Homo-oligomer: A and B are copies of this chain.
Amino acid sequence: MTTRVAVLGATGYTGAELLRLLLQHPEVRVTEIVGQSKSGQRVSAVLPALAGLVSGEVASYDAARIAKNADVAFACLPHGASGKIVAELHAAGLPVLDLSADFRLRDPKVHAEWYGHDEAPALRAEAVYGLAELNREALRSARLVAVPGCYPTASSLPLVPLLEAGLLEDGPIVIDAKSGVSGAGRQPGERTHFAETTEGFRAYKTGGSHRHTPEIEQTLSGVAGREIRVSFVPHLVPMTRGILASSYVRPRAGLDAAKATELARARYEGSPSVHVLDAGSCPDTLWVRGSNRAHLSYTLDARTGWLHCQGAIDNLVKGASGQAVQCFNLMRGYSEGMGLLGAAMWP
């Protein structure tokens, strides 16, 4: 049974990637391509990769029309702007998958502290956090999904099995994460200007200031059953797609790389989007580019006792639009990996 789908914010990178995935999904018909700033322009002019595949123009936003034409909406809108629109669509009866951060933090105080204003406080409690590997059952009946951030996905997946098993020492975790440039979006700026980005590498938003910090902490604290703090340090890699999140943790006695690998394989058995490499291996973001897959690995530095946990994803797929489709599949009763099992584009 085909689902009619609306994509809001379709002309940014997560919107474009979502269209790419949905156009290949066997049970989806995209009926609304909405983008306020480019409305009225031909879709193929704004997204030339879709030339010959999608006709017509980018539509403007109209909650009533969208609710009539679609069964489900995906919102690929900026933080802050998203909440209000999501609330309108939700009120109009549409299940919504929100790719912004507006509903990710369950605690209103934490949300307020990191994001300021709260556009739709009434919906916060209803939103299901869309990390399918954690919340599979809740997602099946969700009507509002907060699709996780890219860094939190890559960072949390390797740590969840270890924290669930209670095998990490207390103390703040260091997460040194590296992302491709597409994570910064389609709006040109100095930080993403080609000549100042290629052939250079740098950190940004250091000192614990990146807004994905509380999201990671919420997930990890949830599975650990105690408060987890992370020192999260993002970096910009001169490439378009991909995140590698490297976490450095202190294992309890008995936890080594082989054990961690075994735990993760057991934890993610049946999860079509997670692949755990052999202990001591190193994932490459290129191996997951364009796919909805996460590659995880564990390595112990026996000389120093640090356990090094790596997670590699494509930030636009498993870190955003693919993950949204994965949640959508669960909501609609499709198989979790439907339309998402394509191999990475390598090389």
* 0/1 string, A246-287, CB within 8 A of B gives 1: 101000000001000000000000001001010010111111
Residue of B nearest to A274 (CB): B52
Contact at A193–B192, with CB atoms within 8 Å?
Answer: yes
Q: Does A123 contact B (CB under 8 A)?
A: no
Which B residues are in CB contact (< 8 Å) with A16?
Answer: 346-347
A135 to B199, CA, bound (A): 31
A295 to B189, CA, bound (A): 24
- Segment 168-206 of A: residues with Cβ below 8 Å from B: 172, 174, 176, 178, 180-182, 186, 188-190, 192-204, 206
Q: Does A233 contact B (CB under 8 A)?
A: yes
Contact at A51–B238, with CB atoms within 8 Å?
Answer: no
Contact at A277–B346, with CB atoms within 8 Å?
Answer: no
Contact at A284–B343, with CB atoms within 8 Å?
Answer: no
Q: Known contacts A172-B305, A284-B201, A285-B202: does B291 contact A49 (CB below 8 Å)?
A: yes
Contact at A242–B299, with CB atoms within 8 Å?
Answer: no
Contact at B206–A308, with CB atoms within 8 Å?
Answer: yes
* 0/1 string, A39-81, CB within 8 A of B gives 1: 0000000011111110000000000000000000000000000
Known: A49-B286, A206-B282. 13 other contacts (CB 8 A): A48-B346, A194-B194, A198-B239, A199-B239, A199-B347, A200-B239, A202-B286, A207-B301, A208-B301, A230-B304, A231-B306, A233-B301, A237-B238
Using a CB–CB cutoff of 8 Å, the interface residues on chain A facing chain B are: 13, 16, 19-20, 23-24, 47-53, 172, 174, 176, 178, 180-182, 186, 188-190, 192-204, 206-208, 213, 229-231, 233, 235, 237-242, 244, 246, 248, 257, 272, 275, 277, 280, 282-291, 293, 295, 299-306, 308, 310, 312, 341-347
